[in-house]
């Protein structure tokens, strides 16, 4: 195998903790693909909030130490293992998971988590598809069972998952409302499928949403920061409305009685609860979006491997997400 004995640069985590535990090493062995595995030369890797939770040791899934973070890579297939028929060396691909970690020059992935990247999307955009688009699709169409003609509020719409949710919801015939915290973010949300956008930093923005939607309320809310917004979300829902919790960074006090008059639901969604078959269905829908042209990832901040500590600090603490954060390996 061509990869035997080769070394690569990769981020390694030897202990759980703050961003400073992310260590750049240049002596990491390039993995060798086994049965139903492919080796990808990584051009870019998405940075997702969940990777900061895993790194801190507070997430329910804890990897064995040491490990390399990252699931959403885009790049070129370098080598294939036994019984891989779908891909060949040189294919442009993106992933929804990796075995060896994506913050690295090469990444190993199971062939069922790898997808061909259409020519109309570049490799940076390929690294912005995995968790954001598959999560948004699961939240909207699997968890919320959203239907054409319904209204959806994407609460925190200018980041990776938010933009994905706006694009998907618009393509599927929903009335799309979004929120963002900066003028640039609000413009981005409008350019990517939202009919209306609101500034969630304004004190009275909930009143503005209520005025816009009227008595009926909102059918579906895709919630990125439930620990701040959940109580307001319950007040905004229509009869039978549902809040889909994609993200939360702490506790919040709500009154369960708020769910009773309108028989509303609070539903959590986790991408990695998806079965292989669900991933396959999501992928088919999203591949169609790429081919037709409504699935267009918006790239935000870009960092080199050397700046990964800064990336992990900024994805949690920066004010107002603008597009999808990625690491560039090239």
pLDDT tens, position by position, 26-37:
999 999 999 999
DSSP 8-state code for residue 40: E
Asked if the model's pLDDT at residue 80 lies above 80, the reply is yes
pLDDT average, residue stretch 127-136? 98
Question: Which fold does the domain 132-272 belong to in CATH?
Answer: Rossmann fold (3.40.50)
> In whole numbers, what is the pLDDT of the chain averaged over residues?
96
Element (H, E) at 94: strand 92-95
Q: Are 57 and 112 in contact (CB under 8 A)?
A: no
Asked if the model's pLDDT at residue 162 lies above 80, the reply is yes
Q: What is the pLDDT of residue 21?
A: 98
Asked if the model's pLDDT at residue 319 lies above 80, the reply is no
Phi/psi of residue 104, nearest 5 degrees: -160, 165
Q: What is the pLDDT of residue 4?
A: 58
pLDDT tens, position by position, 207-237:
999 999 999 999 999 999 999 999 999 999 9
CATH class of 7-128+298-328: alpha beta
Q: Are 167 and 192 in contact (CB under 8 A)?
A: yes
Among residues of the chain, what percentage have pLDDT more than 70? Answer: 99
Asked if the model's pLDDT at residue 2 lies above 90, the reply is no
Instruction: Single out the residue of 320, 290, 325, 328 nearest to residue 188, CA to CA.
Output: 320
Range scoring the smallest mean pLDDT among 31-35, 151-155, 314-318: 314-318
Residue 1 binned pLDDT confidence (cut-offs 50, 70, 90): very low
Q: What is the pLDDT of residue 5?
A: 81
Distance CA 293, CA 195 (A): 18
Q: Could you tell me the residue ranges of all domains in the chain?
A: 7-128+298-328, 132-272
Q: What is the pLDDT of residue 60?
A: 87
Distance CA 166, CA 231 (A): 22
Tokens of residue 242, six digits: 């549902």
Q: What is the CA radius of gyration of the chain?
A: 20
pLDDT tens, position by position, 284-313:
999 999 999 999 999 999 999 999 999 999
């Amino acid at each position: 195998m061509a990869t035997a004995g080769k070394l690569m640069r990769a981020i390694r985590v030897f202990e759980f903790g703050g961003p400073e535990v992310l260590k750049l090493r240049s002596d990491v062995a390039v993995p060798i693909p086994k049965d139903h595995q492919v080796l990808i030369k990584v051009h870019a890797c998405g940075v997702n909030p969940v990777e900061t939770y895993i790194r801190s040791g507070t997430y329910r899934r804890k990897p064995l130490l040491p490990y390399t973070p990252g699931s959403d890579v885009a790049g070129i297939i370098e080598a294939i293992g036994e019984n891989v028929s779908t891909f060949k060396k040189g294919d442009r691909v993106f992933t929804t998971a990796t075995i060896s970690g994506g913050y690295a020059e090469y990444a190993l992935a199971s062939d069922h988590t790898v997808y061909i990247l259409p020519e109309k999307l570049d490799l940076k955009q390929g690294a912005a598809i995995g968790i954001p688009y598959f999560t948004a699709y699961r939240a909207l169409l699997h968890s919320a069972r959203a239907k054409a003609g319904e209204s959806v509020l994407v609460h925190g719409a200018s980041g990776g998952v938010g933009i994905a949710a706006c694009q998907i919801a618009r393509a599927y015939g929903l009335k799309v409302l979004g929120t963002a915290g900066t003028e640039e973010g609000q413009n981005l949300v409008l350019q990517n499928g939202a009919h209306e956008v609101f500034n969630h930093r304004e004190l009275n923005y909930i009143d503005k949403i209520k005025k816009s939607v009227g008595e009926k309320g909102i059918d579906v809310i895709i919630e990125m920061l439930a620990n701040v917004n959940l109580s307001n979300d319950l007040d905004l829902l229509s009869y039978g409305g549902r809040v889909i919790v994609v993200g939360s960074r702490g506790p919040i006090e709500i009154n369960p009685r708020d769910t009773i008059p309108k028989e509303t639901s609070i539903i959590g969604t986790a991408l990695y609860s998806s079965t292989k078959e669900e991933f396959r269905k999501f992928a088919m829908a999203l591949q169609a979006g790429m081919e037709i042209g409504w699935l267009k990832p918006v790239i935000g901040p870009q960092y080199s491997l050397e700046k990964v500590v800064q990336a992990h600090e900024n994805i949690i603490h920066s004010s107002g997400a603008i597009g999808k954060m990625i690491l560039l390996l090239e």
